[in-house]
Structure 1
């Protein structure tokens, strides 16, 4: 497999990300309604994780693959870091402050007031933490403004890890990347994450000491950090060996069987998704490089905004329209979050990306167009 489908965006990564973001809604709809995972389909079938957990794993796998290419083709480490900041922060900050100043008021909360609360809001935003507000969604399961965005800070930590490896000239060593991925796979087996949940059904905001806050803002939960680094580095392994990737039917069948088997284990599920699910994701993305799947969510990547907005939208629907059937609740959330994702891309994410590139835009020879997706492996 050569780099042509990757360099020209003739692949189905955009479609896969859209599907993964939608699966988060599938997972959250019954859980946000009931406060349990009893009616969550994946959990009911396999008993290990949820469709949301699978979707997040998929995001980190794809990110590890694409962002490794982005670093290796960046002009400098500062160029790489700028692209990563531009891709993560604008969309996040828009969703964050909408939650703080609009969703909170609609959900029974209040605006931040006083120096301490204002400083906390700004600090949380700077460290990519979840927005906080007192008394929001009182009496409902998971009374928090946005329970999905907790993964974003881990994504950025993975970007910084890749930056450190790149600056140490280790990313071009296939042996090192494989060794690092194996090491974190072993660590992931030693610190399983099945007992960890970022929010409890009856979540109550608790204040951390300054040192606790700094530690959590920098490292997060060590179990989740190990999990995400393992998946991210697996994606990096796929990238550095991309020239050797082949997708025969028998290999995809074997990967599918191994993936299903791994999904029954709370210890192995995330590793199975990273390794076997990652192989199948790449097979789908590159084998569908010139059809309708390659055109869905390709030039207009709305998956990030969809992911960031689905939780507060669904919580507001539950808050204001209690008793909605699950199917109607999920469909309404999907439609509204998709609309928000499109607006976020058109009004915030793409304009910021394009503005940052006006001074250094280079043509893509294969198409005569210019690359505006900052997660692409070309600059």
Structure 2
């Protein structure tokens, strides 16, 4: 068998090569967390999942004293050709208007980030230039897809110690539903939700759009990266890139809702270990998000009935992470507090 030359390589081959280099968890860091946890003034295991969250942070940050000094919420904004098919309750002009709202500090995500001391960045992914209508053609080609993933990779700022990924884009719940249907099969209606609050005719248009997209691209959806290029959007490709870059840089990731999880689902279909450094911030009320999370093996931190997107559920979960870490870092030990430890008998 001859080796592949650089001339033979495709952009998707570069992504697959990158996946092979990703680091695993730091077991020594996990052991250090467990050692300190055993000395704290509480019964072993009494903080439940909060204790596991600290171990998770340590494993993927690669340090026995994990930190949340520079948590960052990244929201990627994209525009979709399929929106012209009436799949949303809002017009595409809302894309630009919401970017301006974020910049002015007026979004829900702005308030959550301010409340929990989280960094916040928004990335405009050619918001005024929609991707191709997936019912009649690909969203974008392989080269453009990988270039957008690379953009997302560059969005992970040096020094970030935990990353939340979110999105904004009229029509993107239709895109997410199409991705899930392509990856997992089943009726399109199972994956389609009401998104921004479409009425019954709007919901029917969404289902029809997903069915049309699957029919048009039939025979070309066996490769998860091909699914991303044909059915995805710029924000989904960028989130996938950000998740990969975070793994390379040992940054744990908190996923937002239905659309953000579509980026994660692409990576999981490529290699089931690619989400080991990720957790689900919440389970969304949109579509079949609970079904998707179960398939990905992710147990959400929160279940608040949210379906806003824009990183809001992931940011709320970061507040929970901060509380878990504060308990581990700042709680007194038995020795410090003069409290008797567990009896030997």
TM-score by length of 1: 0.27
More helix by percentage: 1
More strand by percentage: 2
